[in-house]
Structure 1
Amino acid sequence: MNIFFKLLFICLFLGLGNEGDAQSKTRVVCVGNSITFGSGLKDPAKESYPAQLQALLGPAYEVLNFGVSGATMLKNGNKPYWKTPEYQQVLNSSPNLVFIKLGTNDSKQINRAQMVNFVKDYKEMIHIFRGLTSRPRVVLLLPVKAFSDTQFGISGTYLRDSLMPSVQKIAYEEDLELIDLYSLFSDKEALLADKIHPNALGDCFIAERLKAFILQPTKAGKDFSGQLKMEVKKNSFFGYEELSFLFKGRKAKIVRPKLVAKGMPWIWRARFYGHEPQTDIALLERGFHVVYCDVAELFGNQESIAIWNDFYAYLRKMGFAQKAVMEGMSRGGVYVYNWAAANPEKVACVYADNPVLDLKSWPGGKGKGPGSKENWALFLKDYGFQEESEAVGFKGSPIDQIAAIVKGKYPMLHVCGDLDEVVPMAENSLPFVEKIKAAGGNIQLIHKPEGKHHPHSLPNPQSIVDFILKATGY
């Protein structure tokens, strides 16, 4: 049976058990629009994501669906949620947890003139819900991706470019948890028959994500700003608090999750901080920290490894987990693998994306790729070569350090475009994977058949996230 239909079967037909005492249940309230209500489904009472979430959570929870088709967050929108009976029901429901999924209908052209009030209206609703006597936990849901700019008047482009950043801004300023449904559906257009509303299987994916979120064990995190003992600037990283500071004269960052997973797991972005951040965001949702320490452009030489060794020790003193998840995009692959080769016991896993694994391929351009004259000159300087001819026998790339890399016994995942025109797979990931496997290492490769060097990552990073969660025991 297809895995998607297995998942749908579980979501729809898992028994609910006995009703039990309603007062002893954890009450989950779903505030939203037609997607929450279940418009377009054959049986919303069973197939909507709140109904499927109820089935997944079982009798210890009570999930209430207060979705209203066409509803806007805007008070002066064409159909304000504020003026519906469902809004009053939310206020009277004594919720323990409130999911807010509003904003899709606010993208309509008819509501654009009022969007200046979107953040204000959203914050007011949050404050009202937080002020209820039950003091609920309030969680914001980014909208499901809309695969149209005209269907029902909803604009997918406006959702992506304007509305989502507004919701992330609200999450940062109100210090609220945030769940990214947009990325979750970025590869699921087939599950949205009308380009807007998920079918029952699509709602099952939402229910599964919310269930995992509710049940994941987390705790309040630490405020590191006082511990850093240096000038710290606070900013928003897609709705999460980002601490920026200098470490040994290098730019460094720590991004804090809203709640922290047990053991303080973390992902270490090697290069191109903030580029294609969907994996980082997904891990923040799950209680991981994201860290960065800029060692550009040292190309993984001993100086960069020494700086990172000190940065690692600094993070360990603050309570970070012993083993880091290493994330290397493009030339970042050199940094993560060279550090991992020197520190095999400190690595939980490696996620590399179109990675440079042979510096003679890039920036050297000694194969089929174009290389980079400017960066090759920097490489020669970083490794102390006076003449280019001296670099012919260079053996300091990750592809030359297979034995040291597999010594760590950590799993590795590469996501690669088969048509990468900058860092050719034939000179980097393909021979690297072959050598790792021959040496007994654990590595897997996700191919993007039509993919080039850009864009990195996957629109929906779930397969990357699943790999990391499995590798780290979460």
Structure 2
Amino acid sequence: MRYFRFYRLLLLSLLFITCKEQETKKQEPLKIACIGDSITYGAGIENREQNAYPQQLQVLLGDGFNVKNFGVNGNTLLKKGDYPYWKSNTYQEALAFKPDIVFIKLGTNDSKLQNRVHLDSDFVSNYKELINSFKEKNKKTRIVLLLPVPSYAQDTSRIWNPVIKNKIIPLTQKVAFETGSEMIDLYHLFVNEPKLFPDKIHPSALGATRMAKRVYESVIQKVENNNKGFNFSKVDKKSESNFYGYKQTNFNFKNIPCKIVTPKRIAKGKPWVLRARFWGHEPQTDIALLDRGFHIVYCDVANLFGNNEAVNRWNNFYDLMIESGFSKKVVLEGMSRGGLIIYNWAVENPEKVACIYADAPVLDGSSWPGGKGEGVGSKGDWQNFKNVYGITSEFEMAGFRGNPIHKIEAIAKGGFPMFHVCGDADKVVPVHENTKIFEKKIKEAGGKIEVIYKEDVGHHPHSLENPTPIVNFILQSTSKIQN
């Protein structure tokens, strides 16, 4: 009996110690390493020990996270750069930290004249080696590549924005695609914001706040547990390609060309954007949503001008997406003539629409391609428009009610929010013949619509160079705003 009590006490003691060890392990903070140059370090920021972006990130995340600033002034990603990150003691300290998440923001100094000569030969391989060095220390670590912020400096021999935009960023996206690393597009987050760069290169404390908030969103984002995306077993899979750092899969469904771009981590609820026409044009909104876990998809309805065949194609494609477990409410995105299909589909399927983002949209075929108002029109497209709608006479055209401009009451009744971006000097799709009439009547009918009118801008460029207002509208409409 005495031995039994002894072993029982021993077993309970061991169980208590094991539970304590597991509890301690659970309470260990998640380790986050912020790798970078002077922008990460916080150069030029007053009281950088509190105001550099990694320190602000720590405050936002609070207990349960251990954020370390491993930024080094002037450092390059390139091993052959003038001051390689590889040779710094800070790099070794970052490796020894064995982080759970690594945010890498390098590349700005690689745009200098003496460094950019090595970009084509070494940048991708050096970046992959840097990523692997952290994975060797912690196989489960999350790697997130931060695209460099823009530079507003004018010295072409120093940090130079055209090199950042046209060389560093595409190479970084190539690395993200080939390694499966996540990305955050900081570049477009700071476009047209020179006031946030007091010395034209380094963000201010307020700029660091913007960086910290965006990185914070990535850390706390709710994602699907199994990260299971689209089921390609039911389609004729054709090919894969790189869509700005993300995997694009091209395939046919019912003999219709389709595309799906997959995020690295799928947001909870599997939100998705169905884009109409002009695939890949002004992609900054799509990239920002991919960064946040949305799928971007396309089902070809070109040259159908939103007619019944186009609507039926999208009906079938929608059903295919739902079979793969995607959200039952889709974000619709349409530029120019894409406005015809997004609204004609929405009015037939209002309960399936999360929101609509329309950019310089055609809402009345008589305006474009018809050119019956002040717009230039397009003779060939106008004939195609009439053909696909079976219109053979001016009498039939006069009675035609298949444009979104004719369906305003039904659209407003659908209840989904709408967001338009238009140039107020558009001579192709005149805004006063399309969005301005539409906006006024939608509001009169009780619908929800916001419009940004770009002063002295024509039909192009589409979108906003900094897409934050569009992205925030979509996040709000799909309940994906992070608090």
TM-score higher than 0.5: yes
Matched, 1:95 2:105: no
Of 56, 64, 67, 2:68 maps to 64
SS of the residue 1:231 aligns to = strand
Paired amino acid for 1:435: K
Aligned-residue offset at 1:389: 4.7
Partner in structure 2 of residue 320 of structure 1: 326
Partner in structure 2 of residue 154 of structure 1: 159
* Aligned residue-pair number: 455
Partner in structure 1 of residue 398 of structure 2: 392
Q: Which moved more, 1:223-232 or 1:365-374?
A: 223-232
Partner in structure 2 of residue 131 of structure 1: 136
SS of the residue 2:97 aligns to = coil
Q: Deviations 1:241-272 (Å, cap 9, x if unpaired)?
A: 11101122222101111111111110110111
Q: Deviations 1:302-357 (Å, cap 9, x if unpaired)?
A: 11111111111111111111110000111111110000011111101001111111
Matched, 1:40 2:44: yes
Aligned-residue offset at 1:152: 7.3
Instruction: Tell me how far apart the structure 1 counterparts of residues 57 and 92 of structure 2 sit (CA, whole Å).
Output: 22
Q: Rate the CA distance shift 1:302–1:235 in 2: closer, same or farther, 3 A.
A: same
Pairs within 5 Å for 1:222-371:
222=228, 224=230, 226-371=232-377
Q: Deviations 1:52-96 (Å, cap 9, x if unpaired)?
A: 111111122111111011100111111000000100101111211
Paired amino acid for 1:246: N
SS of the residue 2:187 aligns to = helix
Unmatched 5+ stretches in structure 1: 1-19
Q: Which moved more, 1:425-434 or 1:128-137?
A: 128-137
Q: Which moved more, 1:266-275 or 1:443-452?
A: 443-452
Q: Deviations 1:415-450 (Å, cap 9, x if unpaired)?
A: 111111211110000110111111111111112112
Which of these two proteins has the greater Rg computed from alpha carbons? 2
Matched, 1:205 2:210: yes
Of 395, 399, 421, 1:415 maps to 421
Aligned-residue offset at 1:403: 2.1
Aligned-residue offset at 1:297: 0.4
Q: Deviations 1:33-52 (Å, cap 9, x if unpaired)?
A: 01001111111101111111
Any conservation in 2 of the 1:145–1:185 contact (CA below 8 Å)?
A: yes
Any conservation in 1 of the 2:229–2:324 contact (CA below 8 Å)?
A: no
Paired amino acid for 1:447: Y
Q: Deviations 1:366-418 (Å, cap 9, x if unpaired)?
A: 11111111110100111112234531222110010112212221111111111
Instruction: Tell me how far apart the structure 2 counterparts of residues 309 and 203 of structure 1 sit (CA, whole Å).
Output: 44
Q: Rate the CA distance shift 1:223–1:435 in 2: closer, same or farther, 3 A.
A: closer
Any conservation in 1 of the 2:99–2:138 contact (CA below 8 Å)?
A: no
Any conservation in 1 of the 2:267–2:292 contact (CA below 8 Å)?
A: yes
Partner in structure 1 of residue 19 of structure 2: none
What fraction of aligned residue pairs are identical, expressed as a percent? 51
Partner in structure 2 of residue 16 of structure 1: none
Paired amino acid for 2:134: F
Any conservation in 2 of the 1:265–1:321 contact (CA below 8 Å)?
A: yes
Any conservation in 1 of the 2:113–2:157 contact (CA below 8 Å)?
A: no
Pairs within 5 Å for 1:425-440:
425-440=431-446
Instruction: Tell me how far apart the structure 1 counterparts of residues 411 and 449 of structure 2 sit (CA, whole Å).
Output: 11
Q: Rate the CA distance shift 1:411–1:133 in 2: closer, same or farther, 3 A.
A: closer
Partner in structure 2 of residue 12 of structure 1: none
Unmatched 5+ stretches in structure 2: 1-23
